[in-house]
Amino acid sequence: MKLCRFTKRNVHNDLSTMSIFSPILFLLVSILMACRSFIHTIDLSFNPETKSATLNGIPLGKILNPFHELGPDAFADPPQLIRSRKFQAEVHHVTTKDNYILTLHRIVNPLVPKNLRPKLKPVLLQHGLFTSSFNFLLSSDANNDRPRFDPRDLVRTRPLNVYTPHPPFSWQKFLEYSNDYIWSRLYLTQPTDRWFAPNMSESLGFEMANQGYDVWLGNARGSTYSLNHTKYDYRSDWRYWDFSFHEIGIYDTPAQIDYILKLRKRKSLAFLGHSQGNLGMFILQSFHPEWKDKVKPFIAMAPIAFIPNVYHGTVRVLIKLIESTVITTTQLNRVLKGRIFPKDPTTGRALDLVCLPKWTTQLCNIALSMITGDNPARTNSTLLPILAHHIPEGTSILNILHFGQMVESGQFQAFNFGPRENLRRYGQLSAPFYPIRNIKSPDIAFVIGRTDPLSTARNVELTKSMLSVPLMDFYVISDPFWGHADYMYATGAGRLANAHMIGLMDRYRLVDM
C-alpha cells in the first residue's frame, strides 16, 4: 500500500511537471525547427566574376553597408528621370511679361499613337515651396512606372474602376480599407471608393501620363530649373530675387498656361497645384476671373490662401522690421543676396549627414514629419536619401517673408513693403487684399489632409467660406494622419490621393475637344 501511494504521488508530480514544461518544450522545438528551416534558406557563396561574397544572391557588402545606396535617381534631373522610366521628355522655355525665363518639363507617353496625341487633355502640375517639377516624379518606382496606354482612356469620363480590375487581396489592404470605413463612420473622414481603386503609381506625373493625359510640369521662378532672366544674373544681382508668390501668380502661372494652350491649340487645360502652386492660381483668378474659362478643373492639393495661427518663428522679427521701415526689402536683399535655401553641394552634404546613414534615417524622417505634418509610418525610408538630394530647391527671401506676413495678419493680401514702398508700388499706404470673392470658377476642388500644419482644416474652411461659388469637390484624404507633403512622398499616395484626383479630371476629359 505504501509503495502504491508513493508511485501514485510520483505520477501526479510528474504529470504536474509535464503540464508546466510542455508549452516551453513545444516553444523550444518550434524555434529549433524555424532555425533549421531558416538555415536551409541561407545561400552564402562567392561570385568569382565580381570577386565578392553574396548572401542569397545579394552582395554581402551591400547588406553590411551602413549607408543607403544612392541610385541614379538621386543625381538625375527631371528629363533624365523621365527617360529612365522609358517615357519621352521635352524641355520648353517660357518668358514672362517681367522677363523671367521659366522651364516647363513635358512627359510624353511613347505608346500613344501620334495621330491620337492631339486628343490628350493637357494638364499642368505646379509644385509648392522649396521644390520643383521633380516633386511630381520623385516617388516613382523604377520597376513599375513604365509606359502603358488604353485607347478607351481618351473618352473615359467615368470613375477609374470601370476599366480597372479589382486589386488583389492582401491583409495590409484589408486593414487599410477597414481603417477607411471606421474613420468615415466616425465622421472624421469621408468614405472613399478604395475597394475599387486601382493600384496606381505614387508618382502623380507618371500616372497621369499613363491615364491618357498630356502632362506638363511647371517650375516657378527662383527654383532650380527656372533661374534665368533676360537681364539679371541670379548669382550676382539681387534684383533677380525681388519677387514673392505674388509675381508667381500674376506672371508665372498665366505665362505657362498660355504657352501650353497656344502650342496645343486648346481653349482650356487642367491645373493641379500643390500648396504655393495653387496659391498662385488663387491670386491669378482673384484679379482675372475670366481665367476660369482656361482652367477646367482647378484642383488644389493642400489649398493655401488664408493661413492664420501657423508657427513661423524668427520670420516674425524680420516682418516687424520691414513693416516699421527699420529695414527695407532692398537692403535685406542686398545683405542676404535675396536667395534662401538653394540647391547646392553644401546643402546636399549637410542633408547627407542625417539622411544617408541607415541609423539616422529615422531622424531625417521625424524632422520631415515635424515640418510638414506627414505620417512617418507612410514615409518610404529608401526615398529619404534621394529626397535630400532634391530639396530644398530654393526661393527668394521675400517669398518666405510674404508667407510670414500672411500668417501674422491672417489675411490674403499682397506683400507689405512698408508705407513708403507700398505707396510707390500699389498707390496706397497699405498692402491691398487679394479680391478672392472675384473668383467665379465652378470647377475648383480642394484635397486636404487632417494633420497638415499649414493647410489646416480651419484655414481651409476659411478659404472655402471666402469663395463666392461652391466647390466642385471637397475631398478629405482618408488617412487621419495625412500631412502637407504626403501627396508626393507617402506610400499609398496612389490609391489615397491620385486615384481620386484623376477621377475628378476625367469629368473634364472631353471639355473643349
Task: Specify whether the CB–CB gap between 36 and 28 falls below 8 A.
Answer: no
Question: In the chain, where are the structural domains located?
Answer: 82-307+434-506
165-179, 190-204, 229-243: which has the minimum mean pLDDT? 165-179
**Residues in CB range of 358: below 8 A, 6 or more apart:** 66, 67, 68
Tens of pLDDT along 408-421? 888 999 999 888 88
Which stretch of 170-174, 260-264, 376-380 has the lowest confidence by average pLDDT? 170-174
pLDDT band at 8 (very low <50, low <70, confident <90, very high): very low
Lowest mean per-residue pLDDT among 50-59, 206-215, 382-391, 420-429: 50-59
Q: Which helix (H) or strand (E) holds 53?
A: strand 52-55
Q: What pLDDT, on a 0 to 100 scale, did the predictor assign at position 135?
A: 93
What is 185-204 written as a DSSP string?
HTTSS----TTS-----S-H
CB 219 within 8 A of CB 133: yes
> What would the pLDDT profile of 313-331 be if each residue is shown by its tens digit?
455 555 555 555 556 666 6
CB atoms inside a 10 Å sphere around CB 196? 15
Average pLDDT value for residue range 190-204: 62
Cell of residue 361, nine digits: 534615417
Share of the chain above pLDDT 90, in %: 48
SS3 state of residue 57? coil
* Cα–Cα distance, 238 to 342 (Å, whole number): 14
* Mean pLDDT for the stretch of residues 269-286: 97
CA–CA distance, 507 with 509 (Å, rounded to integer): 6
pLDDT band at 15 (very low <50, low <70, confident <90, very high): very low
Query: Considering the domain 82-307+434-506 in this protein, what is its CATH number?
Result: 3.40.50.1820
Q: How far is CA 198 from the centre of its chain?
A: 19
Q: What is the dihedral of CA 463, 468, 474, 479, to 10 degrees?
A: 10
Write down the residue that cell numbers 486593414 correspond to. 175
Please list, in sequence order, all residues whose beta carbon lies within 8 angstroms of the beta carbon of residue 398, skipping any fewer than 6 positions away.
241, 242, 243, 244, 329, 333, 338, 415
Question: Which of 55-64, 206-215, 216-225 comes out lowest in average pLDDT?
Answer: 55-64
pLDDT of residue 361: 75
- Average pLDDT (464-487) is 93
239-256: b (≥16 Cβ within 10 Å) or e: ebbbbbbbbbbbbbbbbb
Distance, C-alpha 267 to centroid of its chain: 28
Q: Report whether 402 contacts 314 (CB < 8 A).
A: no
Q: What is the mean pLDDT of residues 98-120?
A: 96
CA distance 226 to 132: 9
